[in-house]
Structures are given as C-alpha cells and as structure tokens.
Structure 1
Amino acid sequence: MAVPALVIALAQMGDSLIYAVLPLYADAFGVSLFVVGILLSLNRWVRLLANSIVAHFTHRIGVRPMMITAAATATLSTLAYAVATHEIILMGGRVLWGISFAALNLAVLSYAVSDRANAGKRVAVNRTALGVFQVMSLAGGTALVAFVGPRDVFLIIAGFGLLGMLLSLRLPPLDIDDGKATGFTLPKPGRLDLWGFALGLVVDGIFIVTLALLLKDTKLPVPPVVTTGLLLATRWGMEVVTAPVGGVLADRFGARPLALLSGVALIGGLVLIAVGHEFAGSILVVTTRGLFNTLVPVMVAERAKSGLLASQATYSTWRDLGAAVGPVVAGVVFAAVPQAPLYGTCAALLVLGLWWCVARSR
C-alpha cells in the first residue's frame, strides 16, 4: 500500500500549495480575486462530474494504467501554475487536476480495499502519507516563495509530482469488479450531509480562500504566505495526529459529544476572526476542522439508515458541493463585504447547522 499512498500524496502537493499562494499573489498570476475563487473551486466541480466517467475508464483499462496516467496529468497541472500566461491555461490546469484526483482517489482506494483484511490499515497509511506530504508542501513551498517567487515554486513542486509518476510505474497490476458506471446524481441530504455542506462552504471554501488575505496585514514574524502555509499545514498535521486519538475517543464516548465540542470551538474561531483576532481564530478553525474529518464519518455510520457506503458517499458529495460553492462565494463577496459581517454570518450559519444537524439526534 505504501506506493499508491506515496503516488497520490506527491501528486497532490501542487494543489495544496495553490490554496496558500494564489489568493495572496493573484496579480502575479494575472487574475482577479473573483477568478481566484473560480480557479480554487473548479476542481471540485470537475470531481463531482468526473467520478463516474473515471470509474468507467478505470474498469476498461485497469487500475494501474489509470493511476500512472493520473500521476502524469497531475504533474502537468502543477506545471500549468508555473508557466500559464493566461487564466484559461490556469483553468485548464485546475480541470486537469480535478480529473486527475478523481482517478488517483479511485485507484488508491481500489488498492486499499483489494486486501479486505487490512483495508482499514491501508486507508490509514494513505491518510498519513497525504498529511505528511501536504505539510511539507505547505510549509516548505510557502517558504520557497520568498526565494524563487510564487510561480517558479510550482516548478519545484512539479518535480515531486514527477517522482510520484515514476513511483507509479512500480505499482502491481490490479483488476476491480466490473460494473456499470452511472451518471452524476445529487443524493437527497440528511442532516449530517447538510452539516457537511456547511463545513465545505464556510471552512473549505470561504475561509481557505480568504485566509491569506486575512493575515496580509497581521503583524507576524514571518511573511503572510508562510503563515498561511503553516496554518494550512496545521490542519493536515491535526488530521494525522487526531485521527487515531479522535477515533478512540469517539468509540468510547460517542462521536456526537466530541463533534459538538469541536463545533463550538470552530464557531468560536470564526467569531474571533469577525472581531479582528485573525491569527488566533484561524488556529482554532484549522485544528477543529481537522478533527471533524475523523468524527463526522463515525457519526454518518452511526446514523446510517441505508447502506454504510451509500451514506458516506452522500456525505462526501454534499461536503464537496459546499467546498465547490464556497470559493466562488468568497471571490464575489470578500472585496465587497467587510470582514466582521462576513465571518459573523459564517459563524451564525454554523451555529444553526450545529444545532439542527449535529445536536439533534432525530
């Protein structure tokens, strides 16, 4: 399992870094904040639509060839951030990454569950590898921006993608059960699915896109882009650290009480940002968001009325939809709406969501 995990982790480094760099250096890429929002959401929209198509072609050509191809196209998407001379090329890179990630994600999960007895351990290895390499990309990549610039740093990151492509050649062949691919449908949401949409909209969308801009004028010992990278790296680090701990606590005390406490802390972080304490608020938001990635799937499993996989897929779809809408909203409203009412509204939305979707058991 180590090779598939490393391939997707190396391939995703460029995507992780673009969230820290692009909002703060939009002028260097020749785009407006509105276009930044579109660029950072485009891959999510593509993923929602591409999953079934990717599954169809994976059935036809096999998991290994698909993962090799996706590793190559992911590297090309990272190169596009460095060499693009027009926003259309950047959009093409984001579309290419959305398709690449859909293929990589399906392939790495296929390798994980091919050994059903150790599927859980293999998925954990995958999440750990992702976390470690995204921390490297965000912390190291943003530090390199000061030396090589916001565009050329992606040439370096593309080198890691090339390494992932070479590693993919070492993957063993793998066949998956044939099945008929279905088109994209938006499943009817339950309460937790709506909470996932709210998290995606506010945290994975509006907050992530505006984080660098929030910290631009904050007096800190390191440049804003490095601070942004470190904060985003903290989220990935929290997933690595809290996944085993949160899982044990959720099994012992139940996921809902922990989710409620985490939700209150997350809302507190948004309130701190609204009243002008951007750095402290951002730390609260990124740490609690990382914990939710462990807790919510457990809650989905506890409340599942139908098949477990179908319930998890529905939650993921609505979370991704929120994360697709959020950057567009941020690009439209951040320049026009002051920080206090924007983040105050986000906090109020999550208060309502926490009560309606999480606190209520029925």
Structure 2
Amino acid sequence: MGEVRPRAVVLAVIACTFFVGFGGGVVFPILPNLGTVLGISPFLVGIILSANRFVRMVANAPAGALVDRVGTRRPFIAGLLIEGVATLGYNVALASSLPEFWFLLSRVAWGLGSALVFATAYTITADVSEAASRGTSMGFVRAGITFGFPAGLVLGGVVSDLYSVAVAFALAAAFALVSGGLAFLTVPETHASDAGTSVRPWDIDTSTPALTTGLVNFGLYFSYAGVLFATLVLLLGRRGITVLGYSAQGTSGFLMAATVLAGSVFMLVGGSASDRLGARVPILLAFLGLACAGFLGLAVADSRVGLLVACLAVGAGQGGVGGPLMALLADLTPTDRMGRATGTNNVLGDVGGGLGPIVSLPAVEALGFVPVYAACAFIPLAAGVVLLAGTYRHTGELNPDVAVREASSPAADRDSSS
C-alpha cells in the first residue's frame, strides 16, 4: 500500500459521496405523492422507499468482508457507479406500464451500490486517521455522505415543482455518475488486504463494539430516516403547512433538507467535541437527548416555526451522534476487521431505516401522527442505555478515555471474533 496524504484522501471521499448523495434524497419528496398518481399503494410505496435498506441488510456484510479482502479503491468506485445507473432507473419507471417494478429494481440496485460506498468510505477514514483526530475525520466524512442527501431533497421537491419529476431524476443520475469518475481520478488504495486468506462473505464482526454502535444506529435510522422522512410530507398535507407557496411535496423537501443540513453540521461538531474532550460517550448521550426532544416537538408542532425547530433538533441530534459513534467503533476495532465491523454497523442501521416506513405509514394512517412521533422520542433514550451497557461490557468503563483505547489492544482483539 503506497503512501497517502490523509487530508487529501478524506476530502476526496467527501466530494465523491456528496455528489452521489443526490440520488438518495431526490425520491423522498416525490414518491409518497407520486404513488397516488401511479396507482401504487401506501404499503408498496413504503416497500420501495425501504428496498435499498433491506438490500443493504444482506449486502453490507459481504461488502465489509470484500473490503478487508481486496481493499477499498475498487469497491468504492464500483459502488458509486452502480448508484448512478440505479438513479437512471427512476426515469425508466416513469415511462413504464409497471412503474412499481422499475422503482423497486432501482432501489435494490441503489442498495447494492451504497453498501459498497458506506463500507469503503468509513474504512478509508479509519485507515488514514489517528485516535486523537478520528472523531473529527469521521464527522467530516459522515457529513459529506449526508450533505448530498439534502441537496437531493431540495432537487426532488423544487425541480419537480418547477419542471418535472423526470428532470429531477435525470439531474440526480448525472451527479451520481460524475462521482464515480471523480473517485477513479482521486481516491487511492488505503487498506491492506487479506487477499492471501479465505474470507467468507458472511464473516461479519459480532464484537460488542460493532453490535453496540449498530443497535444505536438501528434506533436512529428507524426513527429519523425511517419514520420522519416517510411521513413528513403527509404531516404537512394534514396540517396544511406550506413554505413560500410550495405544495406539501416542495415544503417537505425544504424541511427535510434543513434537517439533514443540521445533522451534517453537528456531525462535525460532535466528532470534534469528542476529540477535544478525549471521550466519546458524553457527547453521544447529549445528542441522543437532543433527538428525543426533537421528536417530542414534532408530536405537538402546529406551525411552520414549530415544525422547523423540531426538525432541526432531530437532525442535530442524530447528526451529532454520527461522528463520535463511528470514531468509537474505530477506536475499539482492530484495523484488519474494520471493514467487517462497518458492515455490521450498517446492517443494523439499515434494518431500522427499512422497517421505519413500513411500520410508520400504516401506523400514521391508523393512529395519527402524535402517538407515532411520541413513541419515536423514546428510541434515542433506549439507544443511550444500549451505548452505556455495551461500552461498559467491552472496556469496563462507562466513559473510556480515547487516548488509552486503541483498536490494537488485547481486549479489543479478544472481543472482535466473529
């Protein structure tokens, strides 16, 4: 593995994941309403929105094992290009007599590509960062991954209102394909491979750190990416709240974008704060509490200002968790198993994100928005309990010092068996 410049590598990963993120966000403001026009039931819309996450439940583990076996560069480039082609499939769906089939197929392909992108992006960052600055680096990369998503939300909402849904999808696909070319030109190999050993696709990391961070991810993705993103456009329509004269579809794009932007900013804040403090757990607990407060606000908000404040709190809360959580995983995981550990973490997060729309759309229809959002407020609190229990089990401390918890420690090695 040749010499690499850590800062340049991190910046390259951020740029690539930003551009490809457009395709991830563009579908959310469009499909819930488009489902009615195309004759797709709310349940099937939920399946389509969640399909990429369900695919990643299966693909994340092989993607992580593949990274540990062949390195990061080739899977990263391949994943970005697959996502670009998948986004083109949305336009095929619009012109098809079976739109639900093509939307579903495109989301499946997107899931395969994003499994490769997520496994490689975090592993690359772990490879080139040190413990003292890892929270900041992870925060920047996680923010880069998510910054493209709000751009896609705005693209989907505004461009579909001003021009057409087809134009919005085509722009997202173009940006995604550009990201693959950018990766080919700028991202080097960073990961020592296990090419000489036999690595089974199901060889995932079931260590306490991987399972702990994964369960926290499960709760956050279920409530945030699963419930909030799938139901916000419906909430706006029910409560008659709009912004700048846009429909519920366009307004939801703005609000979701603001939520994700807040999350991206606080990913940087959370990661940097955990580095300065020299500990991850207090920062994680503080932001989990903020996410809880945001969902309580959503349950009762009945104005544009109230909804905006609540969405920003939810976004900032889940975002502030992102950097320190991935840094904690890298702190406590041996380098040669980081691909697998990232796969485990992503699997559990995608289970939560995939279940969210399927559970929330019928639940909102049957129970209303208030009880659903109130229930989501308790999920970050449960995640905090899991975080404390898992950290204590692995380290013997509730708040381990980053400076003395290196991934190569004997304890970490013993606990990383699959």
Give 1:267's match in structure 2, choosing from 287, 292, 297. Answer: 292
> Residues 16-165 of structure 1: matches in 2 within 5 Å?
16-54=25-63, 64-84=73-93, 85=96, 86-109=99-122, 111-112=124-125, 115=128, 120=134, 126-165=141-180
Determine the structure 1 residue equivalent to 2:234: 213
Distance 1:212 1:243 in 2: 25
Determine the structure 1 residue equivalent to 2:202: 183
TM-score under structure 1 length normalisation: 0.82
Distance 1:38 1:274 in 2: 25
In the TM superposition, what whole-angstrom CA distance separates every residue of 1:308-332 from its partner, at most 9, and x where no partner exists? 8476654443222211221221233
Determine the structure 1 residue equivalent to 2:251: 227
Distance 1:172 1:344 in 2: 43
Give 1:294's match in structure 2, choosing from 319, 323, 335. Answer: 323
Give the deviation of 1:157 after TM superposition.
Answer: 1.4
In the TM superposition, what whole-angstrom CA distance separates every residue of 1:164-215 from its partner, at most 9, and x where no partner exists? 2333442566475124133176948766644432222222211221112112
In the TM superposition, what whole-angstrom CA distance separates every residue of 1:101-159 from its partner, at most 9, and x where no partner exists? 12223444565466567995765553343344333322344221211223431012112
Identity of aligned residues (%): 21
Give the deviation of 1:161 after TM superposition.
Answer: 1.9
Contact 1:215 1:228 in 2 (8 A): yes
Give the deviation of 1:29 after TM superposition.
Answer: 4.5
Distance 1:197 1:87 in 2: 27
Change beyond 3 A, Cα 1:31–1:187: farther
Change beyond 3 A, Cα 1:335–1:264: same
Deviates more, 1:131-140 or 1:144-153: 131-140
Q: Say whether 1:249 aligns with 2:273.
A: yes
Distance 2:321 2:130 in 1: 26
SS of 2:243's partner is coil
Mark the runs of 5 or more structure 2 residues left unpaired by the alignment: 1-8, 393-397, 399-418
Number of matched pairs: 359
Distance 2:214 2:278 in 1: 22
Distance 2:205 2:375 in 1: 26
Distance 1:64 1:348 in 2: 39
Change beyond 3 A, Cα 1:48–1:117: same
Distance 1:299 1:168 in 2: 27
Distance 2:328 2:64 in 1: 27
Distance 1:258 1:313 in 2: 24
AA matched with 1:273 = L
Give the deviation of 1:92 after TM superposition.
Answer: 0.6
Change beyond 3 A, Cα 1:339–1:243: closer
Change beyond 3 A, Cα 1:12–1:117: same
Distance 1:172 1:226 in 2: 35
SS of 2:118's partner is helix
TM-score under structure 2 length normalisation: 0.72
Distance 1:61 1:350 in 2: 36
Distance 2:207 2:128 in 1: 32
AA matched with 1:340 = V
AA matched with 2:223 = V
Contact 1:50 1:102 in 2 (8 A): yes
Query: RMSD of the TM alignment (CA)?
Result: 3.6
Contact 1:29 1:151 in 2 (8 A): no
Contact 1:139 1:226 in 2 (8 A): yes
Give 1:200's match in structure 2, choosing from 201, 204, 221. Answer: 221
Give the deviation of 1:237 after TM superposition.
Answer: 2.3
Change beyond 3 A, Cα 1:276–1:16: same
SS of 2:117's partner is helix
Deviates more, 1:313-322 or 1:73-82: 313-322
Contact 2:20 2:175 in 1 (8 A): yes
Give the deviation of 1:95 after TM superposition.
Answer: 0.7
Contact 1:235 1:289 in 2 (8 A): no
Contact 1:138 1:229 in 2 (8 A): yes
Deviates more, 1:180-189 or 1:2-11: 180-189
Determine the structure 2 residue equivalent to 1:346: 376
Distance 1:103 1:267 in 2: 31
Change beyond 3 A, Cα 1:242–1:271: closer
Give the deviation of 1:300 after TM superposition.
Answer: 5.5
Give the deviation of 1:218 after TM superposition.
Answer: 3.4
Deviates more, 1:73-82 or 1:229-238: 229-238
Give the deviation of 1:89 after TM superposition.
Answer: 1.0
AA matched with 1:266 = A
